[in-house]
Structure 1
């Protein structure tokens, strides 16, 4: 009986391998990324076929119905003595029910290189962002000796970045990272900005890592006194300090560029001004986007009571201004601005302004519906959901869990890293 089954199985595999390549590709294109990854583990021949498919379809993403509505979430277990991170993919529907719970890649991996040893014990891993099914994670430079790692949870692959070229010294104020995709070269890049405490007396140092190159390189600045070609501009403007991000805001990848909130000196009035800085992943040049004038005036008034955040809003960016009025016990005012047409300053529009009875709120991101998820950090961590259209506020519970939601971003499954030779499998 076993011989008959074995022979039937072999004939089935042979028939599949005899399919024309274009038919085989069409089959793989219709499968979820996780299933394609499993196909690569069947045998050496299938592994070769799948890897060829991945190289020929570099921008492949799963056509699974789940992908149109997936959120990648990071939690901190508030009920545990050890404050460890947990990860999950959730469907972005009315109930936000679980799609997949994800294991910690460092804890699950038993073949970590030297630069990643001890990472599974780090409690404060920061998620920089997600892009095409990849997730960039970093730890504080003074905790363990690795810069960052790139993780594809769907195919269980991990790439450890080498040690950065720019060292961290005692006078370093902030080290910040950004992660995105260069569509011109089909490459994934990590931007690392090192900023000194004495911002007026030193320039920010910047370096960038490329998945295709596998190494770091430094970017020049206007203060480097390098000889630049005619009609060209320095890569890093002299008044830019990309490391000087607002404490609780992050870096957002939209339309091929990284975006973050920035203070830069306005030489016309000789004072610091608010703007959105950008970094084009293809040209590797910095730029800036103006902030709505009405918002700029509010940020300049009573800056100690105000915080502002940047977030991805569909295919553009949004700014969220939160003014805490704890002294008068009025709660806080939330103001949301959206750039309706990306890159067009005149298209900034006020989406919503409303008063909330809560203090110390931080936006985690927008759902596909346009609702914004807010995290409350007083009287117990709790997630809230604000609908800008109806101005209704509700609690945002996921699986009835009391875990603290720390990170949220859109997510699509992909096969990126499947054919990466230095990727770690777990």
Structure 2
């Protein structure tokens, strides 16, 4: 799928077929905005869908838009998030069993009133937003409390062994060639509050976990 918001193309590498998606009607223009795109299949209807998130960097709630391949048109999801979040695009595939997952950050109201929009500016709430492609509803899951010790670099979500996982990357400040990763796995029981378990620690010299 192309990255240009004005010219989106779906491409099937197996059949080498491509399809130009209809342009998205633009509403009010904003100076600070970015777009996130994801693609997946609705397991109930076998219809392919593209999700576009319009992210206003914490100035207002994100807007979610969905394209259906069967109808060849875009729709704004009326049940978009009602709170003000900043969406973080994953570096790795995050679609699993009809759900897309994104890491999200809610910045505290005190920080937002001061015009601060990023996590380093004030207390935040870290969680995963999961979007059900079938019901087009959202589910929030708090992220685990990780050790943000000196040497913490970043964290990201990914699908590992058919489980939604959180990868936390650290670096030994005394020896910058030594890295390690804590990998947390989210439970997936239907109807049960989802929890996190730290499953693995991977360490070595010069490790790189880029997608």
Q: TM-score range by the shorter chain?
A: 0.7 to 0.9
* Structure possessing the higher relative contact order (Cα contacts under 8 Å, 6 or more residues apart): 1
Q: Which has the larger radius of gyration?
A: 1
8 A contact 1:177–1:251 mirrored in 2: no
Are 2:202 and 1:358 aligned? no
Q: Secondary structure at the match of 1:138?
A: coil
> RMSD of the TM alignment (CA)?
2.9
Whether 1:241 and 2:85 are equivalent positions in the alignment is: yes
SS at match of 2:147: helix
- Relative to structure 1, the CA distance from residue 284 to residue 341 in structure 2 (aligned partners, 3 Å threshold; closer, same or farther) is closer
Is 1:185 equivalent to 2:45 in the alignment? yes
Distance 1:297 1:156 in 2: 43
- Equivalent residue runs for 1:152-167 within 5 Å: 152-166=12-26
Q: Is the 8 A contact 2:186 2:197 kept in 1?
A: yes
Deviations 1:353-384 (A, max 9, x none): 1332226x3343xxxxxxxxxxxxxxxxxxxx
1:256 is the counterpart of 2:103? no
Please tell me whether the aligned partners of residues 265 and 271 of structure 1 are also in contact (alpha carbons under 8 angstroms): yes
Task: Give the structure with the higher percent helix.
Answer: 1
Looking at structure 1, the residues matched to 92 and 26 of structure 2 have their Cα atoms a distance apart, in angstroms, of: 21
* Cα distance between partner residues in 2 of 1:323 and 1:356: 11
Residues 168/158 of structure 1: CA separation in 2 closer, same or farther (3 Å cut): farther
Tell me, yes or no, if structure 1 residue 138 matches structure 2 residue 2: yes
Residues 168 and 319 of structure 1, relative CA distance in 2, 3 Å threshold: farther
Normalised to the residue count of structure 2, the TM-score between the two structures is 0.78
Q: Does 1:207 align with 2:65?
A: yes
Structure 1 residues 166, 251: closer, same or farther in 2, change over 3 A?
Answer: farther
Give 3-state SS (helix, strand or coil) of 1:310's partner. Answer: strand
Greater CA deviation, 344-353 or 175-184? 344-353
* Structure 2 stretches lacking a partner, 5+ long: 110-121
Question: Pick from 106, 127, 137: which aligns with 1:275?
Answer: 127
Matched, 1:289 2:132: no
Number of residues paired by the alignment? Answer: 198
Deviation at 1:189, TM superposition (A): 0.7
TM-score by length of 1: 0.42
- Structure 1 position 215, deviation (Å): 0.6
CA shift, 1:338, in A, is 1.8
Q: Decide which structure has greater strand share.
A: 2
Q: Distance in 1 between matches of 2:12 and 2:95?
A: 17
Mapping of residues 21-32 of structure 1, within 5 Å: none
The answer (yes or no) to whether the contact 1:334–1:355 under 8 Å persists in 2 is yes
Taking the aligned partners of 1:138 and 1:167, their CA distance within structure 2 comes to 21
Structure 1 residue runs of 5 or longer lacking an equivalent are 1-136, 221-234, 365-426
